[in-house]
Amino acid sequence: MSTTPNSSNPTSPRTRVVREPQRAVYDRHAINQILDEGFVCHVGFAVSEPGKDGQPYVIPTSYGRDGDILYIHGSAASRMLRNLNQGVPVCITVTLLDGLVLARSVFNHSMNYRSVVILGTATLVADPAEKLAALRALSEHIIPGRWDDSRQPNERELKQTSVLRVPIDEFSAKVRVGPAIDDEEDYAFPTWAGVIPLEMKVGSAIRDERCEQDLPEYLKNYSRNK
């Protein structure tokens, strides 16, 4: 793999990668792969305070993707929902960590990672059919097959749940892969150099005390390598 991901063009000046532009990825297919592998996103939004710049908040939450739309649970961002009548500017970031990169110099240490940044306006999903489809997308994003094997949401639960919709229109990704890159004169420095891989590992399923069911097929080989 190369340390230079294939780049096309930024979707907007706001999502142009400024630092380390050689790591930029603007390709929708590549972005979708990163989104589909992540478990949680970090949602950023600003809350205005009198006489001050907006105070940013960053909240981790689960998400789902349906084509070019990202859905998140509104419940995870209750402070955000106060101002939601007209839609709220958000930034949604998904980060996958792949390794620690140990160079000879402190300065050239790095991490291997894949991250996506989406800028957009979050709006409340009002249509009941879209809401149900969005909740299904949120569930299937985490564990494909789980939705149909669970007790479906009832009216009361649907009312308690709010879902936000963010179009994936303005986005970019940054990707670093590969070995440490040192300044040429540092290669003689006598220290270990290389990469320590990191991976989100799925452990063995722990059955609930009050459950007697066998593990279903869709959980037997569950992993995030899609």
Q: Judged by CB under 8 A, does residue 109 bind a copy of itself? A: yes
Q: Based on the number of CB atoms within 10 Å of its own CB, is 175 exposed (0-12), middle (13-18) or buried (19 or more)?
A: buried
Q: And the tokens for 114?
A: 């894949």
Asked if residue 72 lies in contact with residue 163, where contact means CB atoms within 8 angstroms, the answer is: yes
Among 78, 126, 127, 128, binds a copy of itself (CB under 8 A): 78
Minimum CB–partner distance for residue 6 and a copy of itself (Å): 21
Q: Which is nearer to a copy of itself, 6 or 109 (CB)?
A: 109
Binding of residue 58 to a copy of itself (CB under 8 A): yes
Task: Assess 197 for contact with a copy of itself (CB under 8 A).
Answer: yes
Residues 207-226 that bind a copy of itself (CB under 8 A): 207-211, 213-216, 219, 222
Does position 204 interact with a copy of itself (CB under 8 A)? The reply is: yes
Q: Which stretch binds a copy of itself (CB under 8 A): 3-11, 25-33, 123-131, 199-207?
A: 199-207
Establish if 12 lies at the interface with a copy of itself (CB under 8 A). Answer: no
Give the torsion through C-alpha atoms of 54, 60, 62, 63, to 10 deg. Answer: 40
- Burial-class residue 134 by CB neighbours within 10 Å (0-12, 13-18, 19+): buried
139 contributes a contact to a copy of itself by CB under 8 A = yes
Other beta carbons within 10 angstroms of residue 91's beta carbon come to: 20
Say whether residue 79 binds a copy of itself (CB under 8 A).
yes
- Residue 90 near residue 72 (C-beta atoms within 8 A): no
Helix (H) or strand (E) holding 219: helix 217-220
Name the one range near a copy of itself by CB under 8 A: 1-9, 23-31, 107-115, 123-131.
107-115
Residue 158 CB, nearest approach to a copy of itself (Å)? 9
